[in-house]
Amino acid sequence: MEIPNNEESALDSIEHELYDPKKKMDDVMMHRVRDARSVDLPTSWGEINPIITEAHDSKTLSFGAKILIGSCILLLLSLSFTAWRVLSSRNVVSAANIDMSTEIVPYIEGGQDTPFTVTLQNRNGSALQEASLTLLYKQGNGTQDEQEKITEKRDLGTIGVNEYKKQDFKVIVYGGESEARDLTVKLEYKVAGSNAVFNKIVTTSVVLKTPPLSVHIEGPSLLSIGQTGEFIISVKNNAATSSLPSALQVILPTNFTVESTDPKPSSRGQVWNVPSLDQGETKTFTITGAITGSQGETSTIKALVGSQGGLIASIGVVYSSQTYDIQLRSSPLMLSLGLETDRGNVETLRYGDKTLVTVTYANSSDQPIRDVSLVLKIQGDAPLLKQVDPDAGYYDSRAQSITWNKSIISNLANLTPHAQGSFRVVIPVVSKGINSPAINLSLSGNGTVQDKNDVTTMLSKSWIVQGTATLSGQTTYKNSPFQNTGPVPPQPNVDTTYTTHIVVSAQNALVNSRVSFILPAYVTWKNVTSNTTSISYDAGTRTVTWDIGSIGAGKTVMADINLSVRPSQSHVGQSPSITSGIVLDADEEVARTHIRTTISPLTTILVGENWPVDPSRVVDSQ
């Protein structure tokens, strides 16, 4: 069908409205496309189910707007809390508002009372409650920190607002000259409404002047390996008054062998008691010994002087200390000492021995050693000096020394590389004498390789004379301090009491001495002895023990023990044993060698008593 020209089609009408410049633009409308899943698209452009519908505006806040509003609220709360804290800051207690100052001279005398003042002021708006002030410092300069640490505490109570507090202390410090020491002051306190403990710490340093007691070590700083050296330790009183009794401790390296000390230490350790010293007085102690090790090795000796400790071999607060280094060098001149008797090579001697000492020397280098000289000094209480007989060399009986040099032995004028030689000396030993006598030999040698006497070697050895202990015993009946009872001769199944008499004699002083034996089954312990304190009986092991303890050199001790014996029928015609073998165990006081002596069991044999018949053998009464 043909459309008239004056009539526009629907499409033309829409196009005209869209492109008409004179047409006023209507408000833009949002349209939504229907969901194809929920609404079927219409097949026509009618008004029943239009494709484009008018949108409706949402009236709720978006998620981003909600976050923004919440952040603003939190900011306002934070600002409010900060303003409240600032406005109420006058009630907060701060350590910065506590002024603490100390007053002490910067240089103090060691060992003397030194005033130390602590001043503090509370500038806080609140009081400090349960306040206390503690002074802490190390008094000595040793390594025993807990023992040398000083802690002094003062309770101050409550310190009010703007209140001043002042505390005076006395400080005593020991140490080396120019040594610095810290003094620490600690303030502890609480505040109202809290159980927490707060603190403030202030530290002050002081420098020590000369210590009241100083210690100094003198001796060779260079020794050959095995060479003997003498070290002198001096303790000096630097104070204006007399010193209190103190203690000296010397810590030796593990490779140091002590040969002698003067005076002897007060204990097994190297600790000496130092008496009270007058102003400026010095007390010296000497230690002689040899150091072993490798060439170039350094050994260190340390000396400490301080108060006497709670134990014998201990030192309390250290007043002063010093270390001394010794460097070892290898000597090309090698020396050795050997000793032998009729029993062969020995390390201990016996009374009456005739010893043969061998002195050996050698050049261990690849260079000759010129003008070699050897000197052997013989000391101690054991050698019979007038009977010393060297096979060569010059013996000076006054100096108690034997010398070998090139004027006596031509080979010593030039000891070629790796050459060696030896000498022998006969030294008889005393047959009796003081407690544990000894032979002390000191061998020194020197020579020249480049400079005169630039080679030096020293060697020392000692041998102690070991004594004997004599143990004896016998059975008595009449000659007894106790009243014995029962038939003699003994009879089967009848009790007879006997007394065992035991005697111990010692050449050298003995310690830890003890005699013991076991009772046979037919012997009964009567608990009757000459010494109830030292003699005891163990019923479990049937052992009788006599704890003698110490026996002086050349002394004799005795004991009597009463025993009851009931022989059996099998003992008829016999003298039954009333003890086991009797054993003596003891240690020599000086040499610390152990002595053990055993004698045969005691029997019913009676010695030194007169009887009309044989009193020892068991007889049948039937």
What pLDDT sits at residue 3?
47
Q: Identity (one letter) of the amino acid at 374?
A: L
| In a domain? residue 532 | yes
Pair of tokens at residue 264: 């002897």
- C-alpha 234/C-alpha 264 separation (Å) is 15
Using the 3D structure, point to which of 309, 329, 349 is the last residue of a domain: 329
| In a domain? residue 36 | no
Find all residues with CB under 8 Å of 591, minimum gap 6, and list them. 348, 436, 464, 466, 508
Using the 3D structure, point to which of 431, 466, 501 is the last residue of a domain: 466
Residue 324 and residue 347 share a domain: no
Cα separation values, 83 from 88, 91, 92, 126, Å: 9, 14, 15, 20
CATH of the domain at 265: 2.60.40.10
CB 608 within 8 A of CB 618: no
| In a domain? residue 608 | no
CB 556 within 8 A of CB 503: yes
Residue 459 and residue 363 share a domain: yes
Q: What is the DSSP string of 267-331?
A: SSSSEEEEPP--TT-EEEEEEEEEE---TT-EEEEEEEEEEE-SSTT-EEEEEEEEEEEEEEE--
Phi, psi of 554 (to 5 degrees): 75, 10
CATH of the domain at 534: 2.60.40.2110
Nearest of 252, 272, 276 to residue 264 by alpha carbon: 272
Pair of tokens at residue 323: 């270390």
Q: Residue 359's domain spans which residues?
A: 333-466
Number of folded domains that form the chain: 4
Residue 324 and residue 417 share a domain: no
Ranges of the chain whose pLDDT falls below 50: 1-3, 31, 33-36, 86, 89-90
What pLDDT sits at residue 18?
66
What pLDDT sits at residue 361?
94
Residue 302 and residue 324 share a domain: yes
What pLDDT sits at residue 73?
87
| In a domain? residue 390 | yes
| In a domain? residue 71 | no
Residue 181 and residue 118 share a domain: yes
Nearest of 313, 175, 293 to residue 251 by alpha carbon: 313
Residue 575 and residue 473 share a domain: yes
| In a domain? residue 286 | yes
What pLDDT sits at residue 207?
82
| In a domain? residue 534 | yes
Find all residues with CB under 8 Å of 145, minimum gap 6, and list them. 138
Using the 3D structure, point to which of 466, 499, 532 is the last residue of a domain: 466
- C-alpha 211/C-alpha 239 separation (Å) is 8
What pLDDT sits at residue 149?
81
pLDDT digits (tens, 9 = 90+) for 219-243: 988 877 767 788 999 999 888 788 8
CB 528 within 8 A of CB 487: no
What pLDDT sits at residue 58?
53
- C-alpha 458/C-alpha 495 separation (Å) is 70
What pLDDT sits at residue 206?
85
Residue 492 and residue 460 share a domain: no
Residue 173 and residue 270 share a domain: no
Residue 437 and residue 344 share a domain: yes
Residue 302 and residue 238 share a domain: yes
Nearest of 110, 116, 112 to residue 185 by alpha carbon: 116
Residue 139 and residue 118 share a domain: yes
| In a domain? residue 269 | yes
Residue 438 and residue 322 share a domain: no
